[in-house]
């Protein structure tokens, strides 16, 4: 089927919506598979220029589908980015930030008791309205307390963990991270699910792959549309791979992990072809944030030509690899220069299901179907948040930095470096530099590495500043931050609270409103 014909037919199906499809006997909506990597960088795939060319399956996926070179996460850290994917909203709207400090990153380790608020409408919850069966495989990271369990938020099945595979711990002050099958804890990392930190050997990617394949087969046999959210974490330090892949990459252990993931993606796509449902399945591959250069080169990946990495709002921290694959629908071998965001996967998935996004809240994600099916590009800004602080914004080819910061001098002197070998004077700063009155502006087409800011006096700077300023003003005028979910808890407050501090147990109160006697950590 020609791409235009396919697009036209599918446009009609999308207009009809889920109820209309059933009424006219139209085919069921497509299956949706979102492949979310962990700390994988823009430069880690052969199709993005990685010189070892060790990702043949992902490169083939790009050749058969569409590449997005300008695709962004919604945050330079894992938990907020994943919240953005499943809500279609900037993390600051859903409360996935902290007020413990200015421009401070935060996520959901065991000490954090917050999670995705009940008021947020998650993608799997909405897809159930169109008859989808939903499964998450791998890392959840949106809260580990019972009320945040993924099966309470629209997923029908889960195999994975609420957190990353950090450890091992002593199981006294801190237990090892649990692994779940649906409601049941079936073991813990480093125990029933071993990870050898010395050799890097672990069989988790193979287990996660089998979970995905079994789910696809069962849903195909049941003739139900399905949503598979495959969120594996082998490329997050400490990186791991199974024995057949260890020592096979020119890139070391991190490359071993990438090669195994590439092999797994190949198996998933091959199964879709063999079941003859490839043309009925939309697949999208991306990552939650940029490569963690703090762990490189042995435990971290590559962000290609971009500056810095995970934890920063420079391009290396938030620009991600992204590939769309839908044989017979998405034209093969194409490159889209649409500015895309991980939040767009929420809106696009709803559109695929014939559903409209919730109308009672701001949705930041765009529907990417016009760009993928018909090449229609939409002008839109990209906002780069770090914690509760808007650090930068991109509009078109221009990126304006309102704050620059990598990490503190104290951390840097301890060997913690988010931008190893990439010092750019006045840009990769170790103090928080305020540029809100006169932003640093870069042309990302000519200068993707953010090394040469435009001259403040140039007409080009003034033109870019006007456009970005308007976009930011419109954004901030309507922004209503959610209640912060990721504040760090003071254990003394959690275990015993002096009078006047009892309500702080959830650690959701901004630090400036905490009585001094409660010793809120800053």
How many domains, in total, are found in the chain?
2
With contact defined as beta carbons under 8 Å apart, do 110 and 174 qualify?
A: yes
Query: SS3 of 362, please?
Result: coil
48: which 2 tokens? 């993005």
Could you give the dihedral angle defined by the CA atoms of residues 444, 447, 452 and 458, in that order, rounded to the nearest 10 degrees?
-60
Q: Tell me the pLDDT tens digit for each residue of 462-474.
A: 999 999 999 999 9
Question: Minimum mean pLDDT among 84-93, 423-432, 484-493: which range?
Answer: 484-493
Answer yes or no: do 104 and 148 share one domain: yes
Q: Residue 51: inside a domain, yes or no?
A: yes
Residue 134 pLDDT > 50, yes or no?
A: yes
Q: Average pLDDT, whole number, for the chain?
A: 90
Q: Which residues line the annotated binding site?
A: 38-39, 78, 288-289
**225 in Cβ contact with 130 (< 8 Å):** yes
Same domain (yes/no): 351, 468: no
**pLDDT 10s digits, 267-294:** 999 999 999 999 999 999 999 999 999 9
- Let me know whether 362 and 393 are in one domain: no
Q: What is the pLDDT of residue 491?
A: 52
Residue where one domain finishes, among candidates 380, 403, 421: 380
Q: Is the pLDDT of residue 494 over 90?
A: no
Question: What mean pLDDT comes out for the span 298-314?
Answer: 97
More confident call, 494 vs 520: 494
- Same structural domain for residues 89 and 142? yes
State both tokens at 341: 């965001």
Token pair, residue 214, equals: 């079994």
Residues forming the annotated binding site for Ca(2+)?
Answer: 38-39, 78, 288-289
User: Do 350 and 419 fall into the same domain?
Assistant: no
Per-residue pLDDT averaged across 179-208, rounded?
98
pLDDT at site 97: 95
How many whole angstroms separate alpha carbon 368 and alpha carbon 344? 7
Flag whether 512 is in a domain. no
5, pLDDT greater than 90: no
Rounded mean pLDDT of 29-43?
A: 98
| 247 and 141 co-located in one domain | yes
Domain boundary among 380, 400, 428: 380
The DSSP secondary structure of 53-71, one letter per residue, reads ---HHHHHHHHHSEE-SSE
- The confidence score (pLDDT) of residue 201 equals 98
pLDDT at residue number 158: 98
Q: How far is CA 513 from CA 16, 94, 104, 112, in A?
A: 50, 21, 18, 19
The rounded radius of gyration (Å) of the Cα atoms in the chain is 22
Q: Mark whether 53 and 175 lie in a shared domain.
A: yes
279 belongs to a structural domain: yes
Domain identity same for 363 and 470: no
> Which pLDDT band, with edges at 50, 70 and 90, does 331 fall under?
very high
Among 350, 380, 410, identify where a domain stops. Answer: 380
- What is the secondary structure of 96-119 as a DSSP string? -S--SSTT------TT----S-TT
pLDDT value at 479 more than 50: yes
Q: Classify residue 515: in a domain, yes or no.
A: no
Establish if 464 belongs to a structural domain: yes
Q: What is the pLDDT of residue 493?
A: 40
Residue 483 clears pLDDT 60, i.e. is over it? yes
Nearby residues of 451 by Cβ (< 8 Å), 6 or more positions away: 307, 424, 427
Asked whether residue 504 carries a pLDDT value surpassing 70, the answer given is no
Q: Which residues participate in catalysis according to the annotation?
A: 78, 141
Residue 483 domain-assigned? no
Does residue 358 sit within a domain?
A: yes
Residues above pLDDT 90, as percent of the chain: 84
The CA distance from 148 to 90, in Å, is: 19
CATH assignment at residue 186: 3.40.720.10
CATH code of 393's domain? 3.30.1120.10
Residues 435 and 328 in one domain: no
Is 180 found in the same domain as 157? yes
Sheet holding 319-320, edge to edge: 319-320, 71-72, 340-341
In angstroms, what CA-CA distances link 473 with 167, 390, 395, 468, 477? 43, 12, 13, 9, 6
Residue 19 has pLDDT above 80, yes or no: no
- For the CA atoms of 376, 379, 384, 390, what is the dihedral angle to 10 degrees? -150
Confidence class for position 490, pLDDT limits 50, 70, 90: low
**Is residue 449 in some structural domain?**
yes
Q: What is the secondary structure of 311-341 as a DSSP string?
A: TSSSHHHHEE--EEE-TTTSPTTEE----EE
Q: How confident is the model at residue 6, as a pLDDT?
A: 34
Same domain, 351 and 449: no
pLDDT range class, residue 28, cuts 50, 70, 90: confident
**Cα angle 144, 77, 296; round to 5:** 115
Contact status, residue 454 vs residue 439, Cβ threshold 8 Å: no
Residue range 404-437, pLDDT digits in tens? 999 999 999 999 999 999 999 999 999 999 999 9
Range of the domain at 456: 389-478
As a whole number of angstroms, the distance between CA 311 and CA 420 comes to 13
The 3-state DSSP class for residue 187 equals strand
Q: Are residues 375 and 398 in the same domain?
A: no
> What's the pTM value of the predicted model, to 2 decimals?
0.91
Residues 6+ apart with CB under 8 A from 188: 175, 176, 177, 178, 179
């Amino acid at each position: 089927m020609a791409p235009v014909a396919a697009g036209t037919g599918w446009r009609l199906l999308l207009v009809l919506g889920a109820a209309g499809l059933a009424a006219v006997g139209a085919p069921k909506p497509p299956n949706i598979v979102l492949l979310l990597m962990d700390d994988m960088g823009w430069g880690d795939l052969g199709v993005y220029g990685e010189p070892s060319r060790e990702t043949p399956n992902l490169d083939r996926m790009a050749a058969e589908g569409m590449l997005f070179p300008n695709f962004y996460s919604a945050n330079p850290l894992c938990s907020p980015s994943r919240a953005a994917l499943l809500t279609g909203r900037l993390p600051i709207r859903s409360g996935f930030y902290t007020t413990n400090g200015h421009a401070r990153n935060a996520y959901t380790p065991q000490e954090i008791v917050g999670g995705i608020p009940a008021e947020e409408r998650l993608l799997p919850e909405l897809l159930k309205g169109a008859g989808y069966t939903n499964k998450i495989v791998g890392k959840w990271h949106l809260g580990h307390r019972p009320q945040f369990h993924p099966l309470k938020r629209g997923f029908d099945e889960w195999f994975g963990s609420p957190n990353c595979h950090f450890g091992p711990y002593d199981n006294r002050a801190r237990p090892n991270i649990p692994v779940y099958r649906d409601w049941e804890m079936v073991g813990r990392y480093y125990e029933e699910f071993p990870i050898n930190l010395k050799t890097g050997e672990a069989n988790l990617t193979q287990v996660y792959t089998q979970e995905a394949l079994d789910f696809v087969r069962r849903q195909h046999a049941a003739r139900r549309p399905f949503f598979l959210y495959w969120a594996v974490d082998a490329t997050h330090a400490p990186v791991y791979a199974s024995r057949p892949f260890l020592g096979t990459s020119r890139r070391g252990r991190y490359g071993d992990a990438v090669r195994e993931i590439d092999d797994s993606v190949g198996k998933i796509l091959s199964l879709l072809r063999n079941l003859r449902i490839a043309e009925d399945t939309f697949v999208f591959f991306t990552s939650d944030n940029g490569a963690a250069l703090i762990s490189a080169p042995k435990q971290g990946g590559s962000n290609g030509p971009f500056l810095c990495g995970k934890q920063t709002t420079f391009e290396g921290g938030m620009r991600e690899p992204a590939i769309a694959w839908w044989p017979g629908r998405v034209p093969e071998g194409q490159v889209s220069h649409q500015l895309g965001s991980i939040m767009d996967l929420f809106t696009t998935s709803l559109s695929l299901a014939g559903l409209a996004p919730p109308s009672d809240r701001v949705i930041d994600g765009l529907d990417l179907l016009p760009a993928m099916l018909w090449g229609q590009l939409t002008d839109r800004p990209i906002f780069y948040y770090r914690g509760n602080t808007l650090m930068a914004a991109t509009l078109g080819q221009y990126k304006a930095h309102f704050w620059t910061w990598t990490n503190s001098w104290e951390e840097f002197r301890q060997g913690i470096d988010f931008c190893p070998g990439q010092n750019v004077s006045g840009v990769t700063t170790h103090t928080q530099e305020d540029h809100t009155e006169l932003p640093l502006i870069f042309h990302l087409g000519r200068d993707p590495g953010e090394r040469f800011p435009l001259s403040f006096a140039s007409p080009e700077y003034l033109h870019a500043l006007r456009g970005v300023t308007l976009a930011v003003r419109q954004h901030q005028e309507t922004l209503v931050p959610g209640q912060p979910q990721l504040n760090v808890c003071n254990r003394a407050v959690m275990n015993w609270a002096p009078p006047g501090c009892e309500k702080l147990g959830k650690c959701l109160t901004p630090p400036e409103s905490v009585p001094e006697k409660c010793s809120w950590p800053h």
